[in-house]
Structure 1
Amino acid sequence: MAIDLTTLLPKRDDTYVGTMAKGLVGSEILRIAAEIRELTAQGRKVCNLTVGDFSPKEFPIPTTLGQGIATALQAGETNYPPSDGVLDLRQSVQRFYERVLGLKYPLEGIVIAGGARPIIYGTYRTLLDEGDTVIYPVPSWNNNHYTHMMGARDTVVVTSADHGFMPTVEQLAPHLSSARLLCLCSPLNPTGTMISPEVLKAICERIVAENRGRKERGQAPLILMYDQIYWTLSFGRTKHVTPVELVPEMAHYTIFVDGISKSFAATGVRVGWGIGPPAIISRMRDVIGHVGAWAPKAEQIAVARSLDDVQGTASFMETMKHRVQERLEALHQGFEKMREAGLPVRAIAPQGAIYLSVQFDLVGKAGLKTNDDIRKLLLEKASFAVVPFQAFGLKDDTGWFRLSVGAVSMADIREAMPRVEATLRAAVSGA
């Protein structure tokens, strides 16, 4: 007879775990997403703009990628990959960056992992000692949690809508001398905005100057982690730029976080890469190896072939970018019409990624006191699911939310916008 442990074992007891785990906050995004899944399981139709993921129905991966994975599995490519990644993939990433970004890195400066998250974790773990300082802007994705896991100190720079929620050099400059790691992301999760070339160049020039002084003093350099996982999704006249193209000396101090999760709508395929100085990447390879955060070998082989299919990759990315942009534009235009009609809402025009920043200026209206009150109102009255900026480290209830379009159709958006407008009108009128 089996031993029934379902009631015997406690579901939560912090006496079992260490200090770091006790203080680690779970993902607010995943908590909200679980709430939406429960509603949809009950038969409720929701315009789900919460998780930064793609519905395979709306955004399937490239056909050649899926076929390539199946072919590699059938060929028996199921054993361990090399700790730094399959050579063919590292070479194809090297060619991809040279071809599209104009940056040719040595192979020793490229490491493959199971998505971008292990690269971010590997960057933190490789560089930081307990008590080291990390600078990051808010809103931004998960830097607060990674800093906590490392036992590091954080310097949080609160950004504003006026600057597209990107930090300015004036905000960062006073803190650079005390930091070991600076974290930037462009296009930015959660805002869908991008850093300007002028601002990024000014920040990089400050980093280079700081590190020249540190080198003379024999101190460890300040490193920039540049998360560009969404860089292939940039719209209109907005141009993605890299630290190294703007200030070549930044090659010594920049770690790129990248992969196929967003560019190929392949979040579940789990292939990412880190690119940077070989002296750092070689140590990161060992960190990733010890936690077993490799991308599966079959997926690596298939991604290598996909990246080398220059015409096919370019065609897929262009089509995908168009389909993301049309959804973002539909939302933005709808909110602009509401704003012009006098409703308390505004949105930042989409620049990149799969996100739109929208402010529902409802705090203090209709008994609404917090962003979570607004979120619940939109979900209950309009079946419109969004994520507040508090999930990205911003503490104040400013009414700003992230809207993610990877899991919705154009029909979902068209049907939802009248419901949102009616909800805002009712909130303003006090109905």
Structure 2
Amino acid sequence: MKNQLAERVKALTPSSTLAITAKAKELKAQGHDIIGLGAGEPDFNTPQHILDAAAASMNEGQTKYTPSAGLPTLIKEIAEKFKRDQGIDYSAKEILVANGAKHALYTLFQVILNEGDEVIIPTPYWVSYPEQVKLADGVPVYIDGLEKNDFKITPEQLAGAITERTKAVIINSPSNPTGMLYTEDELLALGKVCLEKGILIVSDEIYEKLVYGEHKHVSIAQLSPELKEQTIIINGVSKSHSMTGWRIGYAAGNKEIIEAMTNLASHSTSNPTTTAQFATIAAYSGTQEPVEQMRVAFEERLNIIYDKLVAIPGFSCVKPQGAFYFYPNVKEAANLSGYENVDQFVEGLLEEALVAVIPGSGFGTPDNIRLSYATSLEQLEAAVERMHQFVVSKMK
């Protein structure tokens, strides 16, 4: 039988988290007390008023198809959210509701990339960026966000990476996996390069509501009319309202691009899930108190656990400013513990310390690990203590 798989699928890189996740599940099934710090979702339930709105919509018979771009009422709420939070005006035709922010990104790359077009991706990066670019026949081009610069790229780096084939650059602020944010001045400097070179800015802002201390989220699209026109914002309610399973995200920006994305969506998914759209209307139109309560809880965990984490021998970590991840460099800890590399160190943590973390190799920086603090403070403290004792015991 002939090979049945398309070449673009063969080019995909398997998720680096699969092996560690599978091993963790296997050990847990055997009765081992595994503490998992790999979660990319809040450990809070969706707020009650959102659940109630979803149930009410179903009971009222709102269970049919919607327009491919999303319910007009939801699009209106998203537009009002942009006006309220960033001071940006978007028309209904400049917004597309998708089946999660990941789907919005996938659809965007499908409509803007031709074969060989390049997309600049700063490292560390969210694991799906390069794979989605490759699925659209594009070419990922990586720029190192150096730890000494808080994992952020500079305008000089960006300008040096742009070629005649460059179509877009991805900016993820706050970042997964590092939790770092770009300041207004940093965004203006990057935006100037993008405007001069005429490249699209893909601004992934899914963690915008999870920002800590004196830091604040700034969207590059709010800084000038020219940057707004050059930017496609990707966002959603998964992280902000603890609605990961509802699968509602959205894209906002250039009307021609949004129209093309809508046309593609009409042939792929028809529309986002109707009940989830009504839930999202409630998420944006109702009280935002649960969002703030969750943010405060994450900030408390961040501040308590950070000092304990960097006290582990061989761990160094830039303190996150947003999202809910630590991204420590543990190369020295791996060496102190007798491992050749961090991937092996991660396996040792799982098998002996019974702590599951995500190796940084999947995010483009193999000397790091990602730990989610979207779990209870009790579990976090226990996990950090286990890791500390693990390294100390290996050093003897």
Bin for the TM-score computed over the shorter chain: over 0.9
- C-alpha spacing 1:427/1:274, structure 2 compared with 1 (3 Å): same
Find the partner of 1:255 among 232, 249, 261. Answer: 232
Query: In structure 1, which of residues 29, 44, 48 is the aligned counterpart of residue 36 of structure 2?
Result: 48
Match in the other structure for 1:393: 364
Match of 1:184 among 171, 177, 193: 171
SS in structure 2 of the partner of residue 189 of structure 1: coil
> Which aligned pairs between 1:104-123 and structure 2 lie closer than 5 A?
104-123=89-108
User: Which one of the candidate residues 132, 146, 151 is aligned to 2:117?
Assistant: 132
Counterpart of 1:321 in structure 2 is 295
1:344 maps to 2:314: yes
Q: Does 1:290 align with 2:275?
A: no
Give yes or no for contact 1:192–1:354 (8 Å, CA) kept in 2: yes
Q: Distance in 2 between matches of 1:63 and 1:133?
A: 43
Say which of 67, 76, 96 aligns to 1:82.
67
* Residue in 2 that maps onto 1:277: 254
1:35 aligns to 2:23 (yes or no): yes
Judge conservation of contact 1:114–1:293 (CA < 8 Å) in 2.
no
Query: How many corresponding residue pairs?
Result: 393
Give the AA of the match of 2:180: T
The one of 140, 145, 154 equivalent to 1:168 is 154
The alignment-based identity, stated in percent, is 28
SS, match of residue 95 in structure 1: helix
- Alpha-carbon displacement from aligned partner over 1:54-82 (angstroms, at most 9, x marks no partner): 33xxx111101111111111222211111
Structure 2 Cα separation of the partners of residues 27 and 81 of structure 1: 33
2:200 maps to 1:200: no
What displacement does 1:248 show? Answer: 2.8
Q: Choose 244-253 or 196-205, whichever is displaced more.
A: 244-253
**What is the match of residue 131 of structure 2?**
145
What's the TM-score once normalised by structure 2's chain length? 0.95
Q: Deviations over 1:187-242 (max 9, x none)?
A: 1111111112222110101111223xxxxxxxxxx111000000010001111111
Instruction: Give the letter aligned to residue 318 of structure 2.
Output: I
Q: Which structure has the larger Rg?
A: 1
| 1:402 match | 370
Residues 295, 405 of structure 1: alpha-carbon distance in 2 compared, 3 angstrom cutoff: farther
Counterpart of 2:11, as a letter, is: G
Amino acid at match of 2:298: V
Q: CA deviation at 1:249?
A: 0.9
The offset of 1:263, in angstroms, is: 0.2
Match of 2:346 in 1: 375
1:249-284 CA-partner distances (Å, limit 9, x unpaired):
111110000000000111001111101011111111
State the alpha-carbon separation in 2 of the partners of residues 413 and 280 from structure 1: 43
Find the aligned partners of 2:311 and 2:139 in 1 and give their Cα distance.
Answer: 43
Q: Alignment partner of 2:14: what SS?
A: coil
Equivalent residue number for residue 325 of structure 2: 355
Moved more, 346-355 or 24-33: 24-33
Q: How far is 1:138 from its partner?
A: 1.3
Q: Cα offset for 1:101?
A: 1.5
- Please tell me the residue identity of whatever aligns with 1:277: N
CA distance in 2, matches of 1:35, 1:294: 36
SS of 2:328 mapped into structure 1: strand
Give the one of 49, 63, 70 matched to 2:48: 63
What letter corresponds to residue 38 of structure 1 in structure 2? E
Cα distance in 2 for partners of 1:71, 1:14 equals 51
Shift of 1:402: 0.9
Q: TM-score, normalised by structure 1?
A: 0.87
| Partner amino acid, structure 2, of 1:125 | Q
Determine if the alignment matches structure 1 residue 100 to structure 2 residue 68. no
Distance 1:305 1:365, change over 3 A: closer
Question: Against the structure 1 CA distance between its residues 35 and 321, is the aligned structure 2 distance closer, same or farther, given a 3 Å change threshold?
Answer: same
- Alignment match, 2:215: 238
Change in CA separation of 1:294 and 1:164 when aligned onto 2, cut-off 3 Å: farther
In structure 2, the residue matched to 1:265 is 242
Aligned to 1:219: none
**Separation (CA, whole Å) in 2 of partners of 1:346 and 1:38:** 30
Q: Post-superposition shift, 1:158?
A: 1.6
